[in-house]
Chain A
Amino acid sequence: SQTIHQWPATLVQPVGSPLSLECTVEGTSNPNLYWYRQAAGRGLQLLFYSVGIGQISSEVPQNLSASRPQDRQFILSSKKLLLSDSGFYLCAFWSRSEAFFGQGTRLTVV
């Protein structure tokens, strides 16, 4: 079966510290992968998507970057976090006409 794992579930980081959120997918190959951010009570903003290893498309200029070192691994990073990076981050993959979502990471930058 197809599954997606995203961690950590919650994270509190000081301003200026680095960030690494990881997402891995099982049960499928060469999936489209996505990172979204959701502000409290708001919609999902697409940050990055990837159609293959090393192929990253960025939708919004920001303090974040993404990488796909392996087919089923998608990483969201920052070298120096800003207060405005706080939010709920969701990883997702697309397979067989459906999107599957991770459990999300609640990031608080203090």
Chain B
Amino acid sequence: AQTVTQSQPEMSVQEAETVTLSCTYDTSENNYYLFWYKQPPSRQMILVIRQEAYKQQNATENRFSVNFQKAAKSFSLKISDSQLGDTAMYFCAFMHYGNMLTFGGGTRLMVKP
């Protein structure tokens, strides 16, 4: 079974600065997806960024980028120029094609003005 670990329960960052959220996972599969989801106080799950394991290039979406280290099974999220609206819970997730979608325990991010 796949497991996803987020070792930082809470983090804080000053507005306009950069923060990195950590995620590690364990799998014996070679082809899979990795995701970061944002959950604001409304509790709606919002996809932040997606990475396909066969792609070596790290995914980027505007201020959000990942550092995908397949051999180390690491998938960290970097948020640049942090904004107050980035305050939320962030979940790392793993999906083997057509199978279970497994989430980490989450990291609560607070952006301070």
Contacts and interface: CB of A to CB of B under 8 A. Distances in A.
Interface in A52-110: 57, 59, 88, 90, 92, 94, 97-99, 101, 103-104
B25 interface: no
A59 B102 CA distance: 11
26 contacts: A32-B99, A32-B101, A38-B43, A41-B89, A41-B108, A42-B106, A43-B6, A43-B104, A44-B106, A46-B102, A46-B103, A49-B100, A51-B98, A57-B100, A90-B45, A92-B45, A94-B95, A94-B101, A97-B33, A98-B47, A99-B35, A99-B45, A99-B95, A101-B44, A101-B45, A103-B44
A29 to B, nearest CB: 14
Interface residues of A, number: 23
Contacts, number: 52
A88 B45 CA distance: 12
Given A97-B52, A99-B35, A99-B95, A43 B103 contact: yes
5 interchain residue pairs of minimum CB distance = A43-B105, A101-B45, A44-B103, A43-B106, A104-B43
Interface in B31-83: 33, 35, 43-45, 47, 50, 52
Contact of B100 (A41, A42, A46, A88): A46
